[in-house]
Each structure stands twice: as C-alpha cells, then as structure tokens.
Structure 1
Amino acid sequence: MEGLFALFLYGNFVLFLFLYMYINRYRRLIGFHLGMNIAMTAGGMAGLLSGILLIFQYPFHFTLITILATIIGMGVGALFGALFDYQTMLTGLINGLMVGIMAPMLGAILTEQLFFGIVLEGLTIAVVTILIVAIRST
C-alpha cells in the first residue's frame, strides 16, 4: 500500500508542475482575485497532499514529515503566488504553511487510509479541473 501512496505523491508533483506551466502561460490574463485563489489553493493542496501521503508512508517520523510538508506547502504557494504579485505570494506562502502544519496531524488519526487517499486524489483532480476551467473562462 505504501507504493500506491508513493505513486499518488509523484502523480501530484507532476500534476502541480503541469498546472504551474499552464498558469504561467496565461498569467497576464488572470485577475488579482483569481490569482489569489490559485495561490491559496495550490499551496494548501500541496501541503495537504504531501503531509497526509507522507504520514501514511512513514507513520513514525511525525516531526520530519511535518517540517517537510510545511516546506512543500510554503514553496508551492509562494511559487504559484509569485506568478502574480508579492501580496499573492505571501498569501500562498502563509496558506501553505498552515495547511502543511495541520496535514500530518489529520493523516495520523485516519483509520481508512486507502479510502481516504483515493477520495483525496479525486478531490484534487476536481479542484485542478475547476482551476483550469476558471482560467479558461477569463
């Protein structure tokens, strides 16, 4: 089951990389409010996914995973926010920080890990699809 969670983690990394390249192409057309929502969503989802999936794989390394998930959430939020302006970068950074700190705590108490992981991946794909539709409609 750990291999499946590693595959989910890698797939999410690739998904966020493609999303970043897609948003970078259309960043001049995206308004301030949508840019803020994109940065918050990307940082929060990256922190949530990395924290939960890593704690599923390594349940006895709570401190290290919390630090790593926080750094990943902050980095992704800052990168997506930096596409727009400094205020958006700061918002994405802070949202990634908060979710990255909270995600391993949520992952540590879950009992149905496989079911939750599949539902989380489905929600991630739904959120990315909504972001792409929102960008295309601007």
Structure 2
Amino acid sequence: MWLQVIIELIILLIALSCALYVVAMSVWPNHAPVWAFDVFVQQARPWPAVFSAGVAGGCLFALKFLYHTVAKEEWNRDRVLWRFIVPLNSGTLALFSGFGITAGVIPFIDQKLFENIYIALFFGFFIGHFSDNFLAALQRLALDWFGTVDRVEKH
C-alpha cells in the first residue's frame, strides 16, 4: 500500500510542479525560455496560465484528499484514478469557464478581469480547487433548466 501511496504522491507533485512552472512563466515572462515565451506564454496569455492554475488547484485538492485518507487510514485503490483525473478536470473547467466569461456567456463576471494576469490566475486556481463543487452546481443548474430523461414526474 505505501508504495502505491508514494507513487501517487510523486505523480501529483510532478503535475503540480509542471503547472506551477507554467504559472511562473506567465507571471515572469522574462525568465521563460525563448521558445516558450514566443510561442506559448506571450501569444496565448492568459489561457495557459488559467489552465495551469486550475490544474494546480486540482492537484492541491487531490493532495489534500490523499493525506487526509492516509492519516485516517481510509486510503484505498478505488480513489487513485479519481485523484489523477481531478487536476485535468480542474484545469479544463477553469479554462472553459474563463472562455465563457470572456465570450459574455457568463455575464455576471466582468470580461476585463482576465486582462490582469493575477486575477486570471486566482480565478483558475479557485475554480480548480473547488471544481467538484462547481461541477455539482452546474449539474443542478442543467437539471433545473433542461431536466433529464431519467426524472419521473409525479402526477
């Protein structure tokens, strides 16, 4: 069991490190390698940073869940896949939520906020860290708006 926990921890820490590297290169583009600055960081800003901040938030959430389950002796294999998917879900959710805001689809948040890289990073991290709650809220909203084919109406 401990070997699996350590491998899981290492993978999550590597993912977190990679995400934080992209965030750092977005905040301090003068320190980015030439190829990254020209192609990745400068031209696509702030979106790689928002995605990476979301991944970082998801990694932090998964790491928190990992150490809580180990400390409480509740760690089990059936959550491993979940902990690896959470960071990618988180980054993707942060990215596309940001797209929705800047496109005006989500009108109650100002589109211009993403012009400030620090606000964009906070947004990505916040959505990433709370992605489970955000997805649950979106699910409830979709059920209210569209219903479901599984819902049985009471007469």
TM-score, normalised with respect to structure 1: 0.42
Structure having the larger proportion of residues in helix? 1
TM-score, normalised with respect to structure 2: 0.38
Larger gyration radius, structure 1 or structure 2 = 2
